[in-house]
Amino acid sequence: MNFNAKEKIAVVTGSSRGLGYVFAEALIIGGAKRVYINSRSKDACDKAVSSLSEFCETHGKSTNIVAIPSNLNNGAGVRKLVDGVLANGDSKIDILIANAGASWGASFESHPEEALSKVIDLNLKGVFLTIQQFAPLLSKPQGVDPSRILINASITGLYSSKNGNVYGYTASKAAIIHLGKTLALQLPERYNVNVNTVCPGFFPSRMSNGVLSKFGKDYIKENPRNRMGDARQDLIPLILFLCDEKTNYLNGMVLSVDGGYHLNGPNL
C-alpha cells in the first residue's frame, strides 16, 4: 500500500536542519505540491531551499520549496510565518508539522531563568501559537479528508530521569504531548483537523549530540533494537503514513519512535 502526501501543501517549522529537514524530505518524497520551511536564520533557510531543491531533482519530484524565516517564540513571529504563507498565495494548507524547538542543559543549582524562558517560549508557547494561528488555514469542510497537525515531541516527555538536566526541554515536551491530546479532542469538530504527536527517541543531530556523546553507548546497549534512530529510515515512512488520506481515522495518537527504549524506564 502506498502512503503519500500527493498535491498537499505543508508547513514544517524548524526545518532548516535536523528532524524538521527530514520531515520536509518526507513530504517531497510523498509528492507534496509545496512545502514551506522555516528557521530563525535567513541564511539557514536559503541553504535548506537550495539543498531540498536538489533533493527534489534527485528524486524526480516537482515540489515547490518556499522558505519563511521567523522566530516562533512569540505571536508576532508566528504571524510573520502565517502572513508569508498567505502572501505566497496559499489561503489553505493541508499539513502543519510543529517541529521548532530548543534545548538547554545546566545543573539544577545553576539552571538560569532565561534558559527556561527561552526553551518554554519556543517549545510550548510557540507550538500552541503556531497551531492556533494556522487553524483557519487548515480548516476544511466536514466529510472530506481532514487536514493534519503533527506535533514533534520526544520520548523524554514520557519519562523522568535522574540524569536529566534539560529541565525546560523535558517539561515542555511533556506539556506538548498533553496539548496534542487536548487539541485532538477539539479540532476535528471545529476545523476537521486531526492532531497526532510523534515522540522520537535519540536520533543523531546537532541538538542531541551532546547527550549522545555521554550516554550514546548505554542507549544502544539498553535499546531493544540495539541501535540509534535513523531519521530517514525510521521517520519518513511514519510521516507519510500519518499524512495519507487512508489513515484519516488516526487522531490523538502519541507515537514513540525509539525501538521500545522508553519501556525500560531509561536513565538518560
CATH number at residue 75: 3.40.50.720
Degrees, nearest 5: CA angle 57-59-63: 65
Task: Give the separation between CA 39 and CA 25, rounded to whole angstroms.
Answer: 16
Q: Please enumerate in sequence order all residues whose Cβ is within 8 A of that of 14, keeping only pairs 6 or more positions apart, or say none.
A: 20, 38, 39, 72, 99, 100, 101
Beta strands in the chain (DSSP E): 9-12, 34-37, 64-67, 95-98, 147-152, 193-200, 254-257
In a domain, 3, yes or no: no
Q: Grid cell 539498553 — which residue?
A: 222
Is residue 154 in some structural domain? yes
Determine the structural domain holding residue 226 and report its residue range.
Answer: 9-264
Q: Which residues contact 162 (CB under 8 A, 6 or more apart)?
A: 267
Mean pLDDT of 202-224: 75
pLDDT in tens, 135-194: 999 999 999 999 999 999 999 999 887 777 899 999 999 999 999 999 999 999 999 999
Catalytic residue among 169, 191, 219, 261: 169
2 part of a folded domain: no
Q: Is 169 a catalytic residue?
A: yes
pTM of the predicted model as reported, rounded to 2 decimal places: 0.94
Q: What is the β-pairing status of strands 95-98 and 64-67?
A: unpaired
Closest CA to 7 of 57, 54, 61, 84: 61
- Does 31 fall in a domain? yes
Alpha-carbon distance of 3 to 243, in angstroms, equals: 8
**Residue 208: band (very low, low, confident or very high) from pLDDT cuts 50, 70, 90:** low
What is the tally of structural domains in the chain? 1
Domain membership flag for residue 4: no
Domain membership flag for residue 247: yes
pLDDT digits (tens, 9 = 90+) for 92-105: 999 999 999 999 88
Residue 165 falls within a domain, yes or no? Answer: yes
**With bands split at pLDDT 50, 70 and 90, how would you rate the model's confidence at 222?**
confident
The edge-to-edge listing of strands for the beta sheet with 193-200 is 64-67, 34-37, 9-12, 95-98, 147-152, 193-200, 254-257
Whether 26 is covered by a domain: the verdict is yes
Count of Cβ atoms closer than 10 Å to residue 26 Cβ: 26
Residue 248 confidence (pLDDT): 97
